[in-house]
Amino acid sequence: MEEIESIHAENAPAAAPDDTGDLYRVSPGQPALTVNENVGRVGEAVVQVRTPVGLGSGFVIHPAGYVLTNEHVVAGEYSISITQFRRGTAELEKVTFNKVRIVALDSKLDLALLKIEDPLSAPLATVPLGDSNTVTEGQTVFAIGSPLGLDRTVSQGIVSSRNRPMEGQLYIQTTTQINPGNSGGPLFNLRGEVVGVSNMKAMIAGVEGLNFAIPISVAKTFLRNRDAYAFDPRNPNSGYRYLEPPHPVKAQAAQTAVAPKP
């Protein structure tokens, strides 16, 4: 497993022991705030992930520059850039990092771990990961991302179902709008904790408000076992790969929900 530097932002709450895997932090005692207050608290840690063929979103989980996003945002790409939106005196200031590598990825989970290789003038702002097992139906959640390239867009909704089974995986179903460009971005609770990774929505005529996120518990397992999903650019088959489902099953699933493309 790759060694991770022990870098902590000065104002970052202490991570709970035995649950971080040396890469992400948790903040179980963090107070609930309004969506507006939370955006100010966590907004700088939400980034835009861009490739030559499109863009998506992601979020910084470690101040040394580790970013979590969707696998379908970066799959097959070797030129990746990450843009952070920092608070300026009057408006957001864009800081773009052009040296980004893929650390680990998995197509079945639709998760990817990236690392910013550009020199950092200071540790990056991070977001704490919450507990998706405590999410409840009707709970208020919000997403931050770059739908259609619109920088740092905020959308709010509720949890419609905490365990929606689809294609052998469980997802958080939410009314929070998730559109192309939101892929890989965080779904937050009102404590500013990430409880899900935005990754798809229903794209059927006449159907609205059916959006889905990967539970953060799945992402935590992916991060703790990142050596099993390690990406090697010299080996296109590195990491786990899964056979495609039979065509009838795949066609039926495509009618149910389609992942937003970056």
Give me the CATH number covering residue 205.
Answer: 2.40.10.10
Which among 27, 62, 106, 110 is annotated as catalytic?
Answer: 110
| Nearest by Cα to 68 from 76, 53, 56, 52 | 56
**Burial class of residue 246 (count of CB atoms within 10 Å of its CB; 0-12, 13-18, 19+):** exposed
Length of the chain: 262
Asked if residue 199 belongs to a domain, the reply is: yes
Whether 110 sits among the annotated catalytic residues: the reply is yes
147 belongs to a structural domain: yes
Residue 166 lies in a domain: yes
User: What is the Cα–Cα distance from 44 to 66, expressed in whole angstroms?
Assistant: 14
Question: What's the pLDDT at 165?
Answer: 93
For residue 197, tell me if it sits in a domain. Answer: yes
- The confidence score (pLDDT) of residue 259 equals 59
pLDDT in tens, the chain (262 residues): 443 333 333 334 444 433 445 699 998 888 999 999 999 999 999 999 999 988 999 999 999 999 999 999 999 888 999 999 988 766 788 999 999 999 999 999 999 999 999 999 899 999 999 999 999 999 999 999 999 888 889 999 999 999 999 888 999 999 999 988 999 999 999 999 999 999 988 877 777 779 999 999 999 999 999 999 998 776 655 554 443 444 444 444 444 455 555 5
Q: Is the dihedral of CA 120, 122, 125, 131 positive or negative?
A: positive
Angle at 80 between CA 74 and CA 21, to 5 degrees: 70
Cβ atoms < 10 Å from Cβ of 127: 25
As a 3-state breakdown, the chain gives helix, strand, coil percent values, each rounded to 5, of 15, 35, 50
Domain assignment of residue 57, yes or no:
no
Catalytic: 72?
A: yes
Into how many domains does the chain fold? Answer: 1
Any catalytic annotation for residue 198? Answer: no
DSSP 8-state assignment for residue 258: B
Residue-level pLDDT at 260: 59
Among the listed residues 57, 183, 198, 217, the single catalytic one is 183
Give the pLDDT score at 192: 97
Predicted local distance difference test score (pLDDT) of residue 238:
53
In a domain, 8, yes or no: no
Residues with Cβ within 8 Å of residue 187, at least 6 apart in sequence: 141, 142, 143, 172, 174, 176, 194, 195, 196, 197, 198, 213
Is 148 contained in some domain?
yes
Segments forming the whole domain that contains residue 137: 132-216
Q: Is 90 part of any domain?
A: no
Please tell me which residue in 27, 62, 72, 81 is annotated as part of the active site: 72
Using DSSP's 3-state secondary structure scheme, residue 137 falls into coil
**How far is residue 246 CA from its own chain's centroid?**
28
In this structure, what token pair is assigned to residue 142? Answer: 């919000």
What single DSSP character describes residue 232?
Answer: B
* Total-model pTM: 0.81
